[in-house]
Amino acid sequence: MLPGVVALNAASGSVLWTYHTAVFFVLSQPVIVSNVLYLSEMAFDNSLRSATPDSKHTSDVLALRVTDGSVLRRYIPHSGKMFGAPMVSQHVLYLDIRLSAAKGQIPTAIVALDLETGMETWRSNQLQPFGGIDVIVSQGQIYAYSPWDYSPATLVVFQASNGNQLWNHPTNGYIYHVVADFN
Amino acid sequence: MHKRSTQAWLLAGFLPFICLLVVAFSLNSCSWFSSVSGVSRDSKGAHSVLVTEGGSVSMLDRRTGRQIWRHQTGVTDFTPLIVNNMIYIVSGGYNPDRTDTLEALSLASGKLVWSWSWKEHWTPENPPIVVDGVIYLSESNLSASATYSPAPLSEYQGFVVALRASSPATVANGTIYVSNGEAVLALRSNDGRQLWQYRPGPNESLSYYTQLGIQVRETNVMVVQGNQLYLYLDHVEGSHSAEDLVALDIHNGQAIWRYQSHAIFGPSCCKMA
């Protein structure tokens, strides 16, 4: 069975709709905003040993209408390989992008796409070789950090509107959580 | 705490899985992923950011990144809870004295206000949750007397409930839903009285967490919405594991429906729409 999404009626358990990937993509954690479900379909090399994006298939962010599962659109960054779950806030889609690099390195950037047009509005400077980024959007700021396998980790904060880096918080180890909204 | 590697995540990701979207039309009592709820409206929150990192908890000024305070402790990777001008964290995990500790810190200063420790099993098992200002902590290694609001917690009773249980707690509508390793129990939240229990079939086991994702233990799969409790049941199909989604009636624990996926569910399933 190919990975996919199944929507059930909560009261009866009956299947409302299904979506399955065309090939064996890895699916990210889904997010639902305004009755649209966004999730990343990520293609990787068969071996999976190097975390190298698959060159044969294009990774994208899929937008499904929650009510019927129809594909509203696909978002694809103009360069770099998408990695990780999408974040949606204020009509902007934020993605974690893998940049080309020497073997053994996984440099990363955050890309902001306009939800309406799909156009890239900004791209952050290259971040340290995170193993995967968690992105939090709060009060006009983007908080990016890696809870994965890179140490020491750094919390990097950007202006959500233009991607300008505001400050960073280096640590001596791992970052587990960032809580930016207390109310 | 150890970190999960990217490679491990990717390998896990190649298991056949599906994301499950439960579409409902009444969200009044939704309690999905309620690990940070009932939070304070303290004005400090508007200007600061909390970071838990290896060896410490820090409060930073969100405009400049300047450190406001720092509390050094062996914090675990559980999501910190913020409620009533306090921060609740679990520290421990691989401590030499083999204890885990629930620490209550002042939101304003980061100073330790109180703490409560217990002997750990292997690692801290389940993230605490907060519902309506009450912290619910569930660990299988809590003492037998700690089945519900144990005596050692007397000083903190009323806002901490400790449960000797295998799964994280799900709390909704005055009822605690938790697994004791063999069955799902529904406990009345004001006194711990058992209301009903649901036992899986002989070849089934309960899933407590989703299979994938960095914060795997944070995603309790027992979820209450409306009059139904949703849970996952594992079983073997041929050469692989499969999960079914089961809906129980919250009033009596009777199964209402079951969705057979013939696969495993992916990260942070289910999602509500």
| pLDDT attached to residue B30 | 30
Give the residue-averaged pLDDT of A67-79. 90
Strand, coil or helix: what is A128?
coil
Q: How far is residue B90's CA from residue B81's CA, in Å, rounded to a whole number?
A: 10
Helix (H) or strand (E) segment spanning residue B265: strand B255-265
- C-beta separation of B223 from B217 below 8 A: no
Which chain A residue is nearest to residue B268, measuring alpha carbons?
A29
| pLDDT attached to residue A140 | 94
Give the residue-averaged pLDDT of B49-77. 94
A45 touches chain B (CB under 8 A): no
Please list the residues that pair with A5 across neighbouring strands.
A19, B19
Nearest to A148 among B3, B46, B48 (CB): B3
State whether the Cα torsion B136-B140-B146-B148 is positive or negative.
positive
- C-beta separation of B63 from B47 below 8 A: yes
Side chain identity at B177, as an amino acid letter?
Y
- The pTM for the full model equals 0.81
E-strand stretches of A30-107: 31-33, 36-42, 60-65, 71-75, 81-82, 87-89, 92-98
Chain-centre distance of CA B190, in angstroms?
A: 19
Q: Among candidates A161, A168, A126, A123, which has minimal Cα distance to A145?
A: A168
Q: How far is residue B166's CA from residue A44's CA, in Å, rounded to a whole number?
A: 35
- C-beta separation of A60 from A105 below 8 A: no
Q: How far is residue A74's CA from residue A81's CA, in Å, rounded to a whole number?
A: 14
Give the residue-averaged pLDDT of B203-229. 71
B268 contacts in A (CB within 8 Å)?
29-30
A71 touches chain B (CB under 8 A): no
Q: How far is residue A165's CA from residue A128's CA, in Å, rounded to a whole number?
A: 14
Say yes or no for a CB contact (<8 Å) between B225 and A2: no
Q: Among candidates B71, B105, B113, which has minimal Cα distance to B89?
A: B105
User: Tens digits of per-residue pLDDT, B162-173?
Assistant: 787 778 889 999
User: Tens digits of per-residue pLDDT, B6-41?
Assistant: 333 333 333 345 656 655 433 323 333 223 322 333
Q: How far is residue B229's CA from residue B97's CA, in Å, rounded to a whole number?
A: 38
Is the complex ipTM higher than 0.90?
no
| pLDDT attached to residue B165 | 78
Residues 6+ apart with CB under 8 A from B122: none
Query: Could you tell me the pLDDT band of residue A125, with boundaries at 50, 70 and 90?
Result: confident
Strand, coil or helix: what is A13?
coil
| pLDDT attached to residue B220 | 61
Q: How far is residue A102's CA from residue A91's CA, in Å, rounded to a whole number?
A: 34
The DSSP letter of residue A126 is: P
Q: How far is residue A66's CA from residue A35's CA, in Å, rounded to a whole number?
A: 5
Interface of A with B in 80-109 (CB under 8 A): 85, 106
Sheet with A165-170, strands from edge to edge, namely A134-138, A141-145, A154-159, A165-170
Nearest to B259 among A13, A32, A175 (CB): A13
Angle (nearest 5°) at CA A92 between A89 and A96: 90
Say yes or no for a CB contact (<8 Å) between B54 and A151: yes
Interface of A with B in 100-159 (CB under 8 A): 106, 131-132, 134, 138-139, 141, 143, 147-149, 151, 153, 155, 157
Virtual CA dihedral for B12, B14, B17, B20, nearest 10 degrees?
80
Q: How many CB atoms lie under 10 A from the CB of residue A125?
A: 11
Six token digits for residue A82: 């998408």
| pLDDT attached to residue B268 | 47
The shortest C-alpha distance from A181 to chain B (Å) reads 6
Kindly list the distances between the CA atom of residue A53 and the CA atoms of A9, A42, B30, B36, B63, in Å, as whole numbers in the listed order. 35, 8, 37, 34, 36
Give the residue-averaged pLDDT of A116-140. 86
Say yes or no for a CB contact (<8 Å) between A175 and B52: yes
Number of residues written out for chain A: 183
